[in-house]
C-alpha cells in the first residue's frame, strides 16, 4: 500500500509545532473526519513505513552504543513501550537485545487504542514468540520493568510528565529517545535531573553529576548527537520519494537520549569527554563542545596542522564520539593535552578569553 503522503505531511506538521502539544489523538483523526477505520490504519501504516523507520535508525544508533559499551538488559525482565505508537522502539529493542534476555511480558501502552492495535499486530507478525500485553496505565508493571520511551516527551503536559516520572522511579531501567532539538534536549535534561538520584546514568553522559547544561551560561548548547542513516536511505526510489514528499533530511538524524539503570555496573564507563552535536570545522581548525567526566562543559579547539588525526575525528565523528584525556587536562594530562593550553570552559567567557590573544589551540 502506498503511503498517504498528504496525511503524513499533516501529521509531521503537528509534530513540528514546537512548544505546542499536538492535537489530541491524531491517530484517530481519519475516524473523526468520517473516513473510516481503513483510512486510520493506512495513516499508521504510512507512519510506520516512513517516519517511524527514521526513528528506528536513531534507536539502532543508541542500542548499538549500549551493546558496544557492554550494557545488556536484565536476564529476565518485563519491557514497557510507553507511548508506543506503532512500537518501533520495542521492535528495534527486540532486534538488538531480544535474543539475550527473557522477556516476561512486552507491554504496549498508548493513549490511542488504534495505535496499540496496529503495534500488537506488527509484533505478532515479526515476533510471534514474544508475549505481548496490551495494558491500561494501572495494569502496567508497578516496578522493575525496563521502559522504552520514544518521541513522546513533546506531547506530555506538566502533570502527565510528573505522573510518568513518579512511575519511572520505581522501574529497573529507562531508555528514552527523542528528536535532537534544543527544546526537547533541554526537557530531557530536566528529566535526567529529576531521575538521576534513583538510577545510574548509563548514557550519553560521561559522569553522574548534574548536567552542565543546567548552568545558565550553557543554555544555548544542547545535548544532541547524529545517528547515521542506512545506505538504503540514499539508494532506493522509496526513500527518494519520501525525502521529496515530506521534505525530510535523511543525511543527519539528530537525536537526544537518556539511558538510566538501577544496576551499578550496567555499562563500562566511557573513556573521556563526549562530543555534543557537530564540531565547527574550517580548513585550519575544528571547534567542538564536549561534556567531560568532571561534569563540566568545555569548548575545545583543535588545529589540523598539529593534531590531524583528532581534527579528522571531529570532522567525521561517530555517533558516540569520546575524546580521551584526563579532565580537566593539565601537565599530567597526556602528551597531546600537555603540549597545548587546556580547553576553555564553554560559553561567552570562553570565547572572549580565546579571542584575547590565545595563539595555540586547546585540545583534550
Ligand atoms: C510521536 S508518537 C511516537 C510513537 C512511537 N513511540 C515512535 O517513536 O514512533 C507519540 C505517541 O505517544 C502517544 N501519547 C501521547 N501522549 C500520551 C499519553 N499521555 N499517554 C499515552 N500515550 C501518549 C501518542 O498517542 C503517540 O502514539
Q: What is the pLDDT of residues 2-39, one digit of tens each?
A: 899 999 999 998 888 766 666 568 999 888 888 888 99
Region 347-364: mean pLDDT is: 34
Q: Does the Cβ of 110 fall within 6 Å of ligand 1?
A: yes
Q: Does the Cβ of 28 fall within 6 Å of ligand 1?
A: no
Pocket test for ligand 1, best of 60, 89, 111 (most atoms within 8 A of CB): 111
Q: Does the Cβ of 152 fall within 6 Å of ligand 1?
A: yes
Rounded distance between C-alpha atoms, residue 136 and residue 355, angstroms: 57
Q: What is the pLDDT of residues 82-96, one digit of tens each?
A: 999 999 999 999 999
What percent of the chain clears pLDDT 90, i.e. is strictly above it?
75
Q: What is the pLDDT of residues 289-313, one digit of tens each?
A: 999 999 999 988 889 999 899 999 9
Please say if the pLDDT value at position 333 is more than 60: no
Q: Does the Cβ of 119 fall within 6 Å of ligand 1?
A: no
- Cα(48) to centroid(ligand 1), Å: 13
- Cα(85) to centroid(ligand 1), Å: 5
- Cα(344) to centroid(ligand 1), Å: 40
Place of cell 518501533: 88
Query: Which residue did the predictor score with more confidence, 337 or 122?
Result: 122
- Of the given ranges (58-67, 75-84, 314-323), which has the lowest mean pLDDT? 314-323
Q: Does the Cβ of 50 fall within 6 Å of ligand 1?
A: no
Q: What is the pLDDT of residues 177-229, one digit of tens each?
A: 999 999 999 999 999 999 999 999 999 999 999 999 999 999 999 999 999 99
Region 135-151: mean pLDDT is: 96
Mean predicted lDDT score pLDDT of the chain = 88
**What structural domains and CATH numbers belong to the chain?**
5-261 (3.40.50.150), 273-355 (no CATH)
- Cα(265) to centroid(ligand 1), Å: 31
Ligand 1 atom closest to residue 22's alpha carbon, by position in its atom list = 15
Place of cell 570545522: 281
Nearest to 205 by CA among 217, 223, 222: 223
Burial class (CB in 10 A: 0-12, 13-18, 19+), 31: middle
pLDDT at residue 33, as a whole number: 87
Rounded distance between C-alpha atoms, residue 96 and residue 2, angstroms: 28
Query: Ligand 1 atom 10: the closest Cα is on which residue?
Result: 152
Q: State the cell numbers at 293.
A: 567526566
- Cα(315) to centroid(ligand 1), Å: 35
Q: Does the Cβ of 87 fall within 6 Å of ligand 1?
A: no
Amino acid at each position: 500500500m502506498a503511503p498517504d503522503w498528504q496525511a503524513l505531511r499533516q501529521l509531521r506538521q503537528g509534530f513540528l509545532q514546537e512548544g505546542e502539544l499536538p492535537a489530541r489523538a491524531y491517530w484517530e483523526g481519519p475516524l473523526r473526519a468520517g473516513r473510516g477505520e481503513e483510512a486510520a490504519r493506512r495513516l499508521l501504516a504510512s507512519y510506520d513505513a516512513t517516519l517511524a523507520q527514521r526513528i528506528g535508525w536513531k534507536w539502532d544508533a543508541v542500542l548499538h552504543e549500549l551493546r558496544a559499551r557492554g550494557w545488556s538488559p536484565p536476564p529476565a525482565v518485563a519491557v514497557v513501550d510507553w507511548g508506543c505508537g506503532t512500537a518501533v522502539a520495542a521492535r528495534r529493542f527486540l532486534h538488538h537485545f531480544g535474543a539475550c534476555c527473557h522477556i516476561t511480558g512486552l507491554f504496549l501502552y498508548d493513549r490511542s487504542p488504534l495505535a496499540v492495535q496496529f503495534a500488537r499486530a506488527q509484533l505478532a507478525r515479526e515476533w510471534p514468540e514474544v508475549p505481548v500485553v496490551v495494558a491500561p496505565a494501572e495494569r502496567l508493571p508497578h516496578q522493575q520493568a525496563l521502559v522504552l520511551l520514544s518521541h513522546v516527551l513533546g506531547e506530555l503536559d506538566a502533570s502527565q510528565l510528573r505522573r510518568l516520572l513518579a512511575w519511572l522511579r520505581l522501574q529497573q531501567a529507562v531508555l528514552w529517545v527523542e528528536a535532537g532539538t534544543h527544546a526537547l534536549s533541554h526537557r530531557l535534561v530536566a528529566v535526567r535531573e529529576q531521575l538521576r538520584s534513583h538510577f545510574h546514568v548509563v548514557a550519553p553522559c560521561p559522569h553522574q553529576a548534574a548536567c552542565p547544561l543546567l548552568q545558565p551560561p550553557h543554555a544555548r548548547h544542547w545535548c544532541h548527537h547524529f545517528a547515521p542513516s542506512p545506505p538504503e536511505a540514499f539508494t532506493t526510489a522509496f526513500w527518494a520519494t519520501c525525502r521529496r514528499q515530506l521534505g525530510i533530511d535523511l543525511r543527519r538524524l539528530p537525536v537526544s537520549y537518556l539511558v538510566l539503570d538501577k544496576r551499578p555496573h550496567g555499562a563500562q564507563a566511557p573513556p573521556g569527554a563526549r562530543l555534543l552535536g557537530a564540531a565547527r570545522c574550517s580548513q585550519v581548525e575544528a571547534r567542538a563542545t564536549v561534556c567531560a567526566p568532571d561534569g563540566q562543559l568545555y569548548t575545545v579547539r583543535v588545529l589540523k596542522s598539529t593534531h590531524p588525526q583528532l581534527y579528522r575525528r571531529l570532522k567525521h565523528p561517530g555517533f558516540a564520539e569520546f575524546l580521551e584525556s584526563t579532565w580537566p587536562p593539565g601537565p599530567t594530562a597526556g602528551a597531546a593535552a600537555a603540549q597545548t593550553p587546556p580547553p576553555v570552559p564553554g560559553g561567552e567567557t570562553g570565547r572572549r578569553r580565546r579571542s584575547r590573544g590565545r595563539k595555540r589551540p586547546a585540545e583534550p
